[in-house]
Chain A
């Protein structure tokens, strides 16, 4: 069965960086896009970016340009999201999600499978 397992909760100081991992299993990792979505406390879902695990190509939300880097390791079937210059308003649950659309085409489709979420707390 498809599973996305994320790394554990993090507490960071303002200005630091955080790296969240998302290990995929149960499907061909390179076959489907991975989205990164975050949710601040009491707020809605906010798209951060996506990565094509096959090509390594990425697209980032304008809000995160210059601060976020998404990578993958196809030998480990794992995607990574690195966010730098952390601020208190980056405190959120960060999710990875598998998009149903194939990586050989532009990204489309619903995100049927989600990781369990990683809480990142930014506090001095």
Chain B
């Protein structure tokens, strides 16, 4: 079955740029969605279809996807961005969604 790999944690200083990656075999051929989850809350979509941003999500959040890696980039990181971030694709061969293991973003 399809596997998505994320680093368990990423640390960044306030005002800097955070890059959160999601690895998968030929993931560039799939649509990648990114979720932000804060403690005690349901996940929220921050980027969908590789690089689209829902209304209400700051322009600081952007996404890219090529080859075997998709990347969520958060520029000008603020304390309020501290959260767990999950990537997700659909495994079309089995018609089920696949989530990455999640990356905890720490703002130092």
The A-contacting residues of B in range 22-65, CB under 8 angstroms, are: 31, 33, 35, 37, 42-45, 48-49, 54
B90's nearest neighbour on chain A, judged by CB, is A108
Q: Which of A45, A107, A110 has the most CB of B within 10 A?
A: A110
- Stretch of A73-81, A84-92, A114-122 with 4 or more beta carbons under 8 angstroms from chain B: A114-122
Q: Mark B90-106, 1 if CB is under 8 A from A, else 0.
A: 10100111111110000
Contact flag A110-B42 (CB < 8 Å), given A44-B99, A44-B102, A45-B99: no
A61 contacts B by Cβ under 8 Å: yes
B99 touches A46 (CB 8 A): yes
Question: In whole angstroms, how far apart are the Cα atoms of A123 and B95 in the complex?
Answer: 33
B32's nearest neighbour on chain A, judged by CB, is A110
A59 touches B42 (CB 8 A): no
Q: How many residues of B contact A (CB 8 A)?
A: 24
Contact flag A47-B42 (CB < 8 Å), given A108-B90, A110-B33: no
A110 touches B98 (CB 8 A): no
A115 touches B97 (CB 8 A): no
B21 contacts A by Cβ under 8 Å: no
Question: In whole angstroms, how far apart are the Cα atoms of A37 and B44 in the complex?
Answer: 14
Which A residues form the contact surface with B (CB < 8 A)?
Answer: 35, 37, 44-47, 50, 59, 61, 95, 97, 100, 106-112, 114-117
Counting from the closest, the 3 A-B pairs by CB-CB distance are: A114-B42, A110-B33, A110-B48
Between A and B, 22 residue pairs with Cβ closer than 8 Å are A35-B97, A37-B99, A44-B86, A45-B88, A45-B102, A47-B99, A59-B96, A95-B42, A97-B43, A100-B48, A106-B95, A107-B96, A107-B97, A108-B90, A110-B88, A111-B33, A111-B35, A111-B45, A111-B88, A112-B45, A112-B54, A114-B44
